[in-house]
Amino acid sequence: MNRSFNKGLLVLFVLLMSSKLSFSQETLFEFGTSRSMEAVLSGAKVKDTPLKWVNVNTTKETWKLMKDGTLSNTGLPIGVIRSAKQYENFILHVEWKHMEAGGNSGVFAWSGAKPVGTNPLPDGVEIQMLDLEWVDLNLRNGVRPPIAYVHGELFGVQGVSTVADNPRGDRSKSIENRVKGKGEWNTYDVVCVDGVIKLSVNGKFVNGISKSSQKKGYLCLESEGAQIFYRNLKVIELAPGVTSAAETAALLP
């Protein structure tokens, strides 16, 4: 074989291997809906838009959409799925319940939806969903961690910075514990506007962050080692703000 042919085979091999190692970007399913605030206020009978979810670095077996519209997440492998489009200013409603003691999961807002370095999770602002028993199962030198860990913490991750309303280090903790235990449904209403997030847990606003360094990006649902169920996910899109390219996550195919 001549050298140019050998070089061509090498390039083809590298391309094939890189495609196998790259993270999947396939649409897995539709779950939840979105509509604009204008549509909400007009009262017009306009159909909501189904939300499409794209696999980033989980598997088809990680997620199962039930006949009643509930979405099951096994928690393995650790990673995320992302919304097909980016969101800037919006209201998110989602209901969730853990099925395992100490279960861990969450939603990422304003995310770039790509793993950072060796970490399988992306950047963005994490809206924590942690079972109440996590603190009992994760003693530190025999000392029980504070309950602040589990009731709706908000924090920037993987290079995204925020200012906490109720600081616990770099994170913001809820001022009142309103999370229910495993097997019970919890309701989050999340208002995201111009780098500010306010979180309502089971009917009361108890936490928030401001000055997020990234304020437009994808929504991500997290798989983090434990089974969790989601239902009634709805997004109401609000008017855009003055958001620079530096404050916006890169667009993905």
Sketch out the chain's domains with CATH numbers. 23-247 (2.60.120.560)
Do residues 196 and 90 make contact, with C-beta atoms less than 8 angstroms apart? no
Tell me the two tokens of residue 189. Answer: 């209403």
pLDDT of residue 25: 75
pLDDT of residue 46: 82
What value does the mean pLDDT take over residues 159-186?
96
What value does the mean pLDDT take over residues 161-184?
96
pLDDT of residue 150: 84
Closest CA to 110 of 63, 58, 154: 154
pLDDT of residue 44: 78
Residues 7-46 have pLDDT tens digits of: 444 333 333 333 333 455 789 999 999 999 999 998 878 8
β-pairing verdict for 228-237 and 71-73: antiparallel
Residues 223-249 have pLDDT tens digits of: 999 999 999 999 999 999 999 999 999
Q: To the nearest whole percent, how much of the chain has pLDDT over 70? A: 91
Closest CA to 163 of 189, 191, 125: 125
Q: To the nearest whole percent, how much of the chain has pLDDT over 90? A: 83
**Phi, psi (5° rounding) for residue 195?**
80, 5
Taking 90 as the threshold, does the pLDDT of residue 65 lie above it? yes
Taking 80 as the threshold, does the pLDDT of residue 1 lie above it? no
pLDDT of residue 234: 98
Q: Interior CA angle at 34 toward 30 and 36, to 5°?
A: 160
**Phi, psi (5° rounding) for residue 11?**
-60, -45
Reported as a pLDDT band with limits 50, 70 and 90, residue 146 is: confident
Report d(CA 182, CA 58) in Å as an integer: 23
Taking 90 as the threshold, does the pLDDT of residue 127 lie above it? yes
What value does the mean pLDDT take over residues 70-93?
98
Report d(CA 77, CA 215) in Å as an integer: 27
Residues 174-203 have pLDDT tens digits of: 999 999 999 999 999 999 999 999 999 999
**Phi, psi (5° rounding) for residue 154?**
-125, 135
Taking 60 as the threshold, does the pLDDT of residue 209 lie above it? yes
pLDDT of residue 23: 55
Which DSSP string corresponds to the chain? --HHHHHHHHHHHHHHHHHHHSPP--EEEEEEEEEEHHHHHH----PPEEEEEEESSS-GGGEEE-TTS-EEE---SSEEEEEEEEESSEEEEEEEEESSTT-EEEEEEEE--S-BTTBSS-SEEEEEEE-TTHHHHS-BTTBPPPGGGTS--EEEETT---EESSEETTEE--SS-----TTS-EEEEEEEETTEEEEEETTEEEEEEE--S--BEEEEEEE-SS-EEEEEEEEEEPPP----GGGBPPP--
What value does the mean pLDDT take over residues 131-140?
94
Do residues 206 and 200 make contact, with C-beta atoms less than 8 angstroms apart? yes
pLDDT of residue 2: 52
Taking 50 as the threshold, does the pLDDT of residue 4 lie above it? no
